[in-house]
Structure 1
Amino acid sequence: MSRKTNKNITTYSLVRDMLKKVLVVTDPLSPGGASKHAREVLKILPKLGLEVKLYIPFIHAIPQSPEEKERKYLNLKELERNGVEVFPEVWKYLEMEKEKENIFPYLLTLTSGYIPKKDMEFSNDLRENFSLVYDMSENEYHFKVSHMIAKKLHVPLVILLQSESYANSFGRGYRKVLGIKGLFYDLGITYIFMFNRRRFVNALREGVLRGILSVSRAIIKQSKLERLAQDYKVYTNVLKPANAIDGTSISHFRSKKVKENFALYAGRITYLKGIIDLIKIAKETNVKIMLAGSFDNHKEMERLFSKFPPNLVYLGSFMNNELYKIISNSKVTLLPSYKESFSLITMESLALDTPVIAYNLPAINEIYGDIKAVIKIPVGNYKLMAKTLESLMEKDIRELFDPKVEELIKFYSSWEKVAEATLHELENVKKLASTPS
């Protein structure tokens, strides 16, 4: 395979019979690390010589508000400017209005074989040739859609794991956060896991699912997929690097000598991301804690606000430079999360000379295990996290940043490298899928 360098981006001359045109199923328009990964990689893949067409499944393409519609529209236009072709159906979905209170169709996509009619019509009408279908989501609904499309087109399906969507476990730990109420959540999620794992295994048996990629080894282990992949001779690997920071933008906010006297939580605000523990931590200390991010449920947001102590302050939702400025000003980033597959906010905090206190989840330990500036706390021990926060606020945090931090940041400093790793792994899957067994 020939390759040449042009304007600091490696471009590939793809073998005609191997990997030429890919149909991507994902939602690159939402908040959160998974969508950011998809958005950044999609912008670069066309520059590497790959023809990319994007489909966002029906339910996730419809905006919930005029503000969300505007944001999605601008992000889609940016993807198109970078060479990604968006299917016309996605633009049509963007003009529709979602029934905000009716979540029944979405629940059906998670708990049954139901696929929305619009997605089925899209699949049935497809007439183009693709080398493979690449599902970059962490969503069970998207997997059903991508599986349907790949099966119809008779091409390999490759998925990227960004959460333990197919976990062989009891729930996702809601009971640890919400008690009895959480136990019922976990019972429901266990059913969803069982249903989706069956669909996952069926895709393996049919020979449709040919590649499993992941952003961390921990997710593959938690989902217990390695044995299944071996049994069905499916290619499995971890992207290296799997994520990246925006080094150019972050560099403008680095090396802030004087930190302000507050801690920060930044990211999606959900139970599994630790909002209840964050409230408890704030009640255990007098340290001012700033909260920056988006709520999945606005009704729940109002209920949670009533529980905030005076030292827990909600700033709003921020992205890119606005968020980097807040991180660089904060003395500590808090991550009381019960569910992480990589934690991009941890990497961004380190790049902005801000230490992180996090629960010692498998993915955190895998990626940040030997980094002193990431202080690991036993999962759920919010009192120890509060004590550690108070102690850290009194220390010179610069002593936590050794050469290992710079080495880590350097490795995860380029979305171009992530896109190249993605292309390399997709090529590997296509080669194996094209080789007679």
Structure 2
Amino acid sequence: MIKLGIVYDQFLYPWFGGGGAVHAFEVVKRLAKDFSVIYFPSTQVFNVPSDTLIKKAKELETYGIKISDEFYEMNEKNMKANPKSILEKYKLDVDFLYEPDHRSPDIFYLGKRLGKFGLTIHVPLFYKDSLNYLRRLVKFYKVTPSGKGFYTRFLYNELVAKPRYRKLLRKFPPTFIASVSQGSLEESGVQGEVIIPGNAFDPSLLKYRNKGKEDYIVFWSRLNQDKGLPEIPDILRILKGLGVNTRLILAGKFFNKYYETLFWKKVKKYNLNVEYLGFVEREKLDAIVSRSKALIYPSHVDGFSLVMLEALALGTPVVAYSIPAIRSVYKDLKAVKLVEEFNKVEMAKKLADILRLSEKEIEEEMNDNTLLNFLELHSSWDNVERSVKEIILKHLEK
């Protein structure tokens, strides 16, 4: 059986790693049925307490994923050396190395030793168009009292990410780069293969469809500026000006006190009807989303958006900004209304159009054949794993 080495960090972290981590776990546990999988934890994991690492490692092994013996040896010695010395200790007795959710340069250094490696990106490696990136950052990231702002992101892209990856790609070119969407490749300006489907949802969500709608809209995700949180009250205010009053149900965790305070100040100033639920149990959240008339999703940073995919599976239309990743995945679906990024007026108008529809009209749109075919393709992680496996095998044979 082909030996496949996996280089990654999130499997051993005791916290939720977002959509990329979900993708990585679901794909790799399935790859373990088709390959002999050996996991080489990235160097970052050694900052996690040793007992936590062992607990997570043992859980991972129950899925048929073998963990490198060297990892256990280094963990036992409480290894805190520099990344280079850690990577040198890994014995790469595998045929190919793969990183399912690129987060660390480790894959390049290990891949150089083996000669064959691939990686999947979920967000851009870097933003190629510097001026466009700066323009966007100024609009949605701004400056916070902590001193962090658009310039910190911009300088990181220009002084760290862009030169680092251009150098790595030149010195240690991967056998392949894959992406969960065409948009992330375009923004990086790199050539690669698109995994189709790039992500999947739990098919149990489909049971919530066509169970009726109530007069509210929803937003759930990381509650920060990347996801357009500060713009949501402005959009709802414009919506009121169009003669459409609705309630917003908000779920998730606020990641920044400044933006949390700003959000609630706007809600109070504009006299908006917002219900905040915080973290919600999955079944309760699914029921809430399925009965809402729309998901408002003014996200500026996404590689695919599992939130949008799950909303569609639950039978709820989406209004989102037409950023490259979202556009490349969802542009052909009538139930997804895309507007130019930062165009809050147009987003409010699209929401108003949906909120004025009858329940029957919404159900008809959510049962469009194109959407149903899209959902069928994205309703199983087996389909995602199959696409990844085909890419790996294709490049192994070269």
Under TM normalisation by the shorter chain, which class is it?
0.7 to 0.9
Return the alpha-carbon distance in structure 2 between the equivalents of residues 371 and 74 of structure 1: 43
Counterparts in 2 of 1:391 and 1:319: CA distance versus 1, 3 Å: same
Q: Which range is displaced more, 277-286 or 33-42?
A: 277-286
Q: 1 CA distance for matches of 2:316 and 2:46?
A: 34
**Aligned match of 1:250:** 205
Q: 1:120 aligns with which of 84, 90, 94?
A: 84
Equivalent residue for 1:271, pick from 212, 225, 249: 225
Aligned-partner Cα distance in 2 for 1:291–1:118: 42
Deviation (angstroms), 1:391: 3.3
Contact 2:43 2:86 in 1 (8 A): no
Summarize deviations over 1:242-268 as a string: whole Å, max 9, x none.
111111x21332331x22221111212
Q: 5 Å matches for 1:186-205? A: 186-194=150-158, 195-205=160-170
Residue 420 of structure 1 pairs with residue 376 of structure 2: no
Q: Distance in 2 between matches of 1:371 and 1:360?
A: 13
Counterpart Cα distance in 1 of 2:312 and 2:73: 38
Alpha-carbon distance change, 410 to 176 in structure 1, aligned in 2, over 3 angstroms: same
Conserved 8 A contact 2:217-2:246:
yes
CA contact (8 A) 1:150 1:208 kept: no
Distance 2:281 2:183 in 1: 27
- Pairing 1:356-371 to 2, within 5 Å after superposition: 356-371=318-333
Question: Cα distance 1:76–1:354, how it changes in 2: closer, same or farther (>3 A)?
Answer: farther
Residue aligning to 1:221? 186
Q: 2:374 matched to which residue of 1? A: 408
Out of 94, 98, 102, the position equivalent to 1:130 is 94
Q: Which amino acid aligns with 1:55?
A: P
Alpha-carbon contact 2:183-2:327 (below 8 Å) kept: no
Contact 2:128 2:188 in 1 (8 A): yes
1:387 is displaced (CA, Å) by: 3.2
Measure the CA separation in 2 of the matches of 1:414 and 1:61.
34
Could you tell me which amino acid in structure 1 is paired with residue 41 of structure 2? Y
8 Å Cα contact 2:181/2:325 also seen in 1 = yes
Within the candidate set 261, 265, 284, 1:303 is matched to 261
TM-aligned CA deviation for residue 303 of structure 1: 3.0
Cα offsets for 1:369-413 (capped at 9, x unmatched): 121111112211123322332332231212323111101101111
2:36 alignment partner AA: L
Q: 31, 46, 66: which one pairs with 1:85?
A: 66
Contact 2:42 2:106 in 1 (8 A): no
Partners of 1:91 and 1:260 in 2: how far apart? Answer: 56
Calculate the aligned-residue CA RMSD, in Å: 3.2
Counterpart of 1:147 in structure 2 is: 108
Code of the aligned partner of 2:207: H
How far apart are the structure 2 equivalents of 1:318 and 1:34?
A: 21
Distance 2:353 2:300 in 1: 23
Would you say the 8 A contact 2:9–2:45 is kept in 1? no
SS of equivalent to 1:357: strand
Seen in structure 2, the aligned counterparts of structure 1 residues 75 and 125 have a Cα distance that, compared at 3 Å, is closer
Please give the alpha-carbon distance, in whole angstroms, between the structure 2 residues aligned to 1:417 and 1:359: 27
Task: Describe the superposition over 1:319-376 as per-residue Cα deviations: whole angstroms up to 9, x where unpaired.
Answer: 6544322321222111101122212221211111100011112222222212111111
Compute the displacement of 1:92 (Å).
8.8
Alpha-carbon distance in structure 2 between the residues aligned to 1:32 and 1:383: 30
Structure 2 gaps of 5+ residues are: none
The alignment-based identity, stated in percent, is 26
Q: Is the 8 A contact 1:54 1:84 kept in 2?
A: no
Distance 1:308 1:32, change over 3 A: farther
Offset of 1:196 from its aligned partner? Answer: 2.5
Partners of 2:281 and 2:342 in 1: how far apart? 28
Point out the more displaced range, 371-380 or 386-395. Answer: 386-395
Once the two structures are TM-superposed, the CA of residue 135 in structure 1 deviates from its matched residue by 2.2
How many residue pairs match? The answer is 373
Indicate the residue corresponding to 2:250 in structure 1.
291
The answer to which of 357-366 and 177-186 deviates more is 177-186
Q: How does 1:390-409 map to 2 (within 5 A)?
A: 390-396=352-358, 397-401=362-366, 402-409=368-375
Contact 2:4 / 2:97 at 8 angstroms: preserved in 1? no
- How much has 1:167 moved relative to structure 2? 1.9
Q: Cα 1:74–1:169, aligned 2, differ >3 Å: closer, same or farther?
A: farther
- CA contact under 8 A between 2:210 and 2:363: conserved in structure 1? no
The answer to whether the Cα contact below 8 Å between 2:224 and 2:259 also exists between their aligned partners in 1 is: no
Cα distance in structure 2, aligned partners of 1:133 and 1:36 = 19
Of 45-54 and 328-337, more deviation after overlay is shown by 45-54
Q: Give the secondary structure class of the aligned counterpart of 2:175.
A: strand
Distance (Å, rounded) in 1 between the aligned partners of 2:56 and 2:363 = 37
Note the alpha carbon deviations across 1:185-234, whole angstroms, 9 max, x for none. 443333322332333233333345221101111211111113xxxxxxxx
Evaluate the alpha carbon distance shift between residue 366 and residue 83 of structure 1 in structure 2; reply closer, same or farther with a 3 A threshold: same
Structure 1 counterpart of 2:388, one-letter code: T
Other-structure match for 2:171: 206
The 10-residue stretch of structure 1 (345-354 or 363-372) with the greater mean CA deviation from structure 2:
363-372
Whether the 8 Å CA contact 1:175–1:181 is kept in 2: the answer is: no
Instruction: Give 2:197's aligned amino acid.
Output: P
User: How many Å separate the matches in 1 of 2:9 and 2:313?
Assistant: 28
Q: Residues 340 and 403 of structure 1: is their aligned pair in 2 closer, same or farther, counting only changes over 3 Å?
A: same
Give me the whole-angstrom Cα distance separating, in 1, the residues matched to 2:46 and 2:156. 19
